[in-house]
Amino acid sequence: MNKRSFLQTAIAVASLTASAWSIAAAPALTPLKFQLDWRFEGPAAFFVHPGAKGYYQERGLDVTVEAASGAGAIQRVASGTHDLGFADLAALMEFHANNPDAPIKPVAVMVIYNTTPASVMALKKSGIKTAADLTGKKLGAPVFDAGRRTFPIFAQANNVGAVQWTTMDPPLRETMLVRGDVDAVTGFTFTSLLNLEARGVKREDIVVLPYATHGVKLYGNVIIASPKLIAEKPEALKAFLEAFAKGAKEAIAQPAAAIASLKAKDGLVNTDVETRRLQLTIETAIDTPGAREEGFGQLRLPRLQLMAEQVAKAYGTKNPVPANAVWNGSFLPSAAALDVLPKK
């Protein structure tokens, strides 16, 4: 081997050695599995966008975000297959009350929907204009629909008398309303409203009665965490919430950019529809007067206790809802990091 070849070989070996050392020295990312509450639709962008921008990775995390298929986030986290999830707080309360001996009981660690996005929707031609007009009417929703399950709270707040329920699968809800099989439906506003428009109904022909503006003070969806994650990897949980908050601020400021991240995750995403869905989610459930007062991600204990009492009654739980056991706000990011709502 001549001198030139020797030097080239030495340089190559040194380079490979340096690369190997660099890889070995780089800290391993902590893997976390996150379960959504539904498909890769508008709201899912809140959780996909931080990954697309590298915010999870910057904080030492390797986060896998999965769409719902079959079992929901509460069941997935409770089974131990997932570390984190996105779920309705009322459903989490029901799980705690009905499963006091469950070995794994997920805990809410951040509020995303400060108000429930549930509403009653009807067509103007039905003659329904106010909540009181629902008395004696035929309402439709899947049996597990959050709006249907908490309807007794809505009914009590608005003096609504007895109604008749019709059960259907989610894809048929708005179709049955358009056909006249039911007088009204319950559902999340950002879902049913867009589904009705997709079926040819004009926005001005739809009556929307949001729970949040009709005396119902329920919190909506929250990020839930496994007790195992809380006990064994508290820093990873805190890092996740910090990365999420950073991505959430961008998603609220620029919904189209967040949906672009979602589109990169799932090529079947309809950009226009899901951008509008995300905007509706922000308007109806995230950037709300309650969130402005309490702070994004946070909650007030008196309101949580009232919700626990209302949910126990509406859901007919086996035991009282343990409000103090469903919430752990000790991992929330700083006030500055949670300042994600646009200035008004």
| Tokens linked to 231 | 């006990």
| pLDDT for res 8 | 58
Residues 131 and 143 in one domain: yes
Tell me, yes or no, whether 174 lies in a domain. yes
Comparing C-alpha atoms, which of 310, 243, 283 is closest to residue 89?
310
- Among 213, 243, 266, the domain-final residue is 213
Residues 97 and 132 in one domain: no
Tell me, yes or no, whether 311 lies in a domain. yes
Residues 196 and 283 in one domain: no
Comparing C-alpha atoms, which of 145, 116, 112, 115 is closest to residue 43?
112
How far apart CA 43 and CA 300 sit, in angstroms, is 24
Tell me, yes or no, whether 333 lies in a domain. no
Residues 48 and 62 in one domain: yes
| pLDDT for res 138 | 98
Mean pLDDT, residues 58-74: 91
Q: How confident is the model at residue 185 (pLDDT cuts 50, 70, 90)?
A: very high
| pLDDT for res 70 | 61
Tell me, yes or no, whether 74 lies in a domain. yes
| pLDDT for res 26 | 60
How far apart CA 80 and CA 239 sit, in angstroms, is 20
Residues 240 and 303 in one domain: yes
How far apart CA 94 and CA 9 sit, in angstroms, is 67
Residue 95 predicted with pLDDT over 70: yes
Domain span at residue 147 reads 118-213
| pLDDT for res 4 | 54
| pLDDT for res 27 | 75
Mean pLDDT, residues 112-125: 98
pLDDT tens digits, 267-320? 999 999 999 999 999 999 999 999 999 999 999 999 999 999 999 999 999 999
How far apart CA 339 and CA 295 sit, in angstroms, is 8
How far apart CA 330 and CA 332 sit, in angstroms, is 6
Tell me, yes or no, whether 255 lies in a domain. yes
Tell me, yes or no, whether 312 lies in a domain. yes
Residue 160 predicted with pLDDT over 90: yes
Residue 344 predicted with pLDDT over 80: no
Mean pLDDT, residues 175-194: 97
Residues 80 and 95 in one domain: yes
Tell me, yes or no, whether 288 lies in a domain. yes
pLDDT tens digits, 1-55? 555 555 555 455 455 554 544 444 567 999 999 999 999 999 999 999 999 999 9
Residues 47 and 106 in one domain: yes
Comparing C-alpha atoms, which of 164, 159, 110 is closest to residue 291?
110
| pLDDT for res 149 | 96
- Among 151, 185, 213, the domain-final residue is 213
pLDDT tens digits, 212-234? 999 999 999 999 999 999 999 99
Does residue 84 contact residue 228 with C-beta atoms inside 8 Å? no
Residues 83 and 34 in one domain: yes
Instruction: Tell me the average pLDDT of the chain.
Output: 93
Tell me, yes or no, whether 233 lies in a domain. yes
Mean pLDDT, residues 156-166: 97
The fraction of the chain above a pLDDT of 70, given in percent, is 92
pLDDT tens digits, 241-277? 999 999 999 999 999 999 999 999 999 999 999 999 9
Q: Environment class of residue 328 by beta-carbon count within 10 Å: exposed (0-12), middle (13-18) or buried (19+)? A: middle
Residues 223 and 317 in one domain: yes
List, as one string, the DSSP characters of 218-266.
---EEEEE-HHHHHH-HHHHHHHHHHHHHHHHHHHH-HHHHHHHHHHH-
Does residue 147 contact residue 215 with C-beta atoms inside 8 Å? no
How far apart CA 149 and CA 317 sit, in angstroms, is 12
Name which residue leads in pLDDT, 12 or 206. 206
Q: Is 84 helix (H, G, I), strand (E, B) or coil?
A: strand
Residue 172 predicted with pLDDT over 90: yes
Residues 66 and 187 in one domain: no
Domain count, the chain: 2
| End-to-end Cα separation, the chain, in angstroms | 73
- Among 193, 213, 233, the domain-final residue is 213
CATH number for the domain including 108? Answer: 3.40.190.10
Residues 240 and 319 in one domain: yes
Residues 303 and 155 in one domain: no
Comparing C-alpha atoms, which of 53, 21, 8 is closest to residue 258?
53
